[in-house]
């Protein structure tokens, strides 16, 4: 194992005492929601261990017809690519599917959620949670829980005891070493390895995501969605090692012989959650790590089959209501600055994703995204409501006075279409935005398709409330 930095030692101590070589206690463990093609139960145990350890067994107690039985299930290793070199030399991951009817589960001494409840009553939503260190951008104060409140957000979610947690992407923001004149803000942040075609390391993932999110790990299974900060040239190696739900994807961002990383894209996947009274929440998770926000590019063609798969796997069924989870909003509002200077204008995000998704949105009652660093809700005529939960911890936007753009999605500022010959949606009928850190607790209403979405601050206090009914989303 390479020499530990001061921060790395502190991080490992925060999780557990690092075991001796060959031992099997994990640094931490958690339960991922995964497609049933990965695990029949839809849940997979993950454990993070130091290099030199071996995969522990997953200990499970199942109960069928009142009879309990204890099982040990072998875990398989997810290892980083050797071509990432020292960047990921210190940690690896173990995985195993959780069986149906599990009532208890643990990895070593770490207890993890064993199952989803028979009836989902509370869903926590968050996104854009890392601490921003990026060339040319303001440096966030990673040392302050007021300026980077992810640990507080995670703790308040844990106290609220949701039945399932959904993270909508952008975990990794530490793309630089901490500037020498800003050590009070971000001192000790693990630096990218010089000469690599990616920015992340195992310890930077510990700092930006795994340690601050750890209060969630014992609370509920987690849906992890990939963000653009998890593109292969940024934080993709850590994403595929730690959080991607595919059991054989750990090296999807593996550099080639020249050291170049691919533009790896994950397949669309779906999962169902029982809501009681014959209702089922169906989610479709689409990878939108890549693409152009301001104009339609060739990425639209690569994204189109991902959204087509989401629609095909989300066809109407008795009692089913479907949400589309994708990091870049299909109907998000932000400000753009004109090329060459001038006043900013309000516009839509993200063009490639909107163009690819537009023909495939009929099955969905709501789109859940992040990407824009704000809490936001937008409604367009005939479209599913768009919820944005990009306020989970990263430095917030500095916009004021949010407005509906002068033209609708997929239109240039002069009103011309970005997709000539394609019927485009009308402009928004309503928008709501708030520039406060926080997260959302979603609870189902009495009738099918009805949800209350409580906007909460890092301490867990509600500051706004949204309602979803018959695909219409409104907040106040």
**pLDDT tens track for 38-47:** 999 999 999 9
Q: Specify the pLDDT at position 401.
A: 84
Note the pTM of the prediction, 2 decimals.
0.96
Question: Residue 43: inside a domain, yes or no?
Answer: no
The answer to whether 467 and 379 are in contact (CB under 8 A) is no
Rounded Cα gap, residues 31 and 66, in angstroms: 24
Q: Specify the pLDDT at position 6.
A: 44
Q: What's the order of all strands across the beta sheet hosting 76-78? A: 76-78, 91-97, 43-50, 28-33, 222-224, 164-167, 123-126, 439-444, 451-456, 462-469, 472-475
Q: Specify the pLDDT at position 20.
A: 45
Q: Specify the pLDDT at position 12.
A: 53
Half-sphere exposure of 106 (CA within 13 A, CB side): 9
pLDDT tens figures, 371-427: 999 999 999 999 999 999 999 999 999 988 889 999 999 999 999 999 999 999 999
Which residue range forms the structural domain that includes residue 426? 118-475
Domain count, the chain: 1
Question: Residue 4: inside a domain, yes or no?
Answer: no
Question: Residue 88: inside a domain, yes or no?
Answer: no
Radius of gyration of the chain (CA): 22
Reduce the DSSP state of residue 373 to 3 states and report it.
coil
Within 10 A of 20 (CB to CB), how many other CB atoms are there?
A: 10
Question: Residue 203: inside a domain, yes or no?
Answer: yes
Strands (E), 237-318: 269-276, 279-286
Q: Specify the pLDDT at position 400.
A: 83
Question: Residue 16: inside a domain, yes or no?
Answer: no
Question: Residue 42: inside a domain, yes or no?
Answer: no
Q: Specify the pLDDT at position 188.
A: 85
Q: Specify the pLDDT at position 62.
A: 98
Question: Residue 400: inside a domain, yes or no?
Answer: yes
Q: What's the order of all strands across the beta sheet hosting 375-379? A: 269-276, 279-286, 320-326, 364-369, 385-389, 375-379, 430-434
| CATH number for the domain that contains residue 353 | 3.60.21.10
What tens-digit pLDDT sequence spans the chain (476 residues)? 333 444 444 555 544 444 444 557 899 999 999 999 999 999 999 999 999 999 999 999 999 999 999 999 999 999 999 999 999 999 999 999 999 999 999 999 999 999 999 999 999 999 999 999 988 888 899 999 999 999 999 999 999 999 999 999 999 999 999 999 999 999 889 999 999 999 999 999 999 999 999 999 999 999 999 999 999 999 999 999 999 999 999 999 999 999 999 999 999 999 999 999 999 999 999 999 999 999 999 999 999 999 999 999 999 999 999 999 999 999 999 999 888 788 899 999 999 999 999 999 999 999 999 999 999 999 999 999 999 999 999 999 998 888 999 999 999 999 999 999 999 999 999 999 999 999 999 999 999 999 999 999 999 999 999 999 999 999 98
Question: Residue 26: inside a domain, yes or no?
Answer: no
């Amino acid at each position: 194992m390479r020499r530990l930095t001061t921060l790395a030692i502190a991080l490992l101590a925060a999780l557990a005492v690092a075991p001796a070589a060959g031992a099997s206690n994990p640094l931490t463990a958690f339960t991922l929601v995964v497609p049933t093609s990965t695990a029949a139960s839809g849940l997979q145990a993950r454990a993070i261990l130091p290099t030199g350890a071996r995969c522990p067994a997953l200990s499970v107690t199942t109960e069928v017809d009142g009879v309990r039985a204890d099982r040990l299930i072998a875990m398989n290793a997810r290892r980083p690519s050797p071509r990432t070199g020292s960047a990921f030399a210190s940690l690896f991951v173990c995985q195993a599917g959780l069986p149906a009817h599990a009532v208890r589960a643990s990895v070593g001494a770490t207890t993890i959620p064993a199952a989803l409840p028979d009836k989902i009553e509370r869903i926590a939503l968050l996104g854009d949670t890392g601490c921003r260190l990026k060339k040319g951008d303001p440096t966030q104060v990673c040392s302050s829980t007021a300026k980077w409140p992810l640990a507080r957000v995670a703790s308040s979610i844990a106290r609220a005891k949701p039945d399932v947690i959904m993270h909508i992407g952008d975990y990794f923001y530490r793309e630089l070493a901490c500037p020498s004149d800003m050590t009070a803000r971000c001192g000790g942040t693990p630096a990218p390895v010089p000469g690599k075609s990616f920015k992340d390391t195992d310890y930077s993932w510990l700092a930006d995501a795994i340690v601050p999110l750890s209060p969630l790990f014992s609370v509920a299974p987690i849906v992890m969605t990939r963000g653009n900060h998890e593109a292969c040239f940024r934080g993709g190696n850590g994403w595929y090692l730690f959080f991607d739900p595919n059991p054989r994807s750990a090296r999807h961002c593996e550099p080639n012989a020249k050291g170049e990383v691919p533009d790896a894209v994950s397949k669309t996947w779906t999962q169902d959650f029982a809501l009681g009274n014959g209702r089922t929440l169906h989610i479709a998770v689409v990878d939108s790590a890549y693409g152009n926000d301001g104009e339609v590019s060739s990425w639209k063609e690569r994204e189109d089959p991902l959204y087509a798969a989401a629609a095909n796997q989300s066809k109407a069924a008795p009692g089913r209501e479907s949400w589309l989870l994708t990091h870049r909003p299909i109907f998000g509002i932000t400000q753009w600055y004109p090329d060459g200077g001038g006043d900013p204008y309000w516009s839509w995000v993200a063009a490639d994703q909107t163009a690819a998704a537009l023909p495939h949105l009929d099955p969905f009652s709501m789109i859940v995204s992040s990407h824009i660093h704000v809490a936001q809700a937008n409604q367009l005529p005939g479209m599913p409501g768009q919820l944005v939960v990009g306020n989970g911890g990263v430095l917030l936007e500095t916009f004021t006075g949010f407005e509906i753009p002068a033209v609708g999605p997929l239109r240039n500022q002069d009103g011309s279409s970005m997709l000539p010959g394609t019927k485009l949606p009308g402009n928004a009928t309503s928008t709501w935005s708030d520039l406060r850190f926080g997260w959302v607790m979603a609870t189902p209403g009495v009738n099918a398709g009805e949800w209350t979405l409580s906007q909460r601050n890092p301490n867990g206090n509600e500051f706004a409330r949204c309602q979803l009914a018959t695909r219409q989303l409104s907040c106040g």
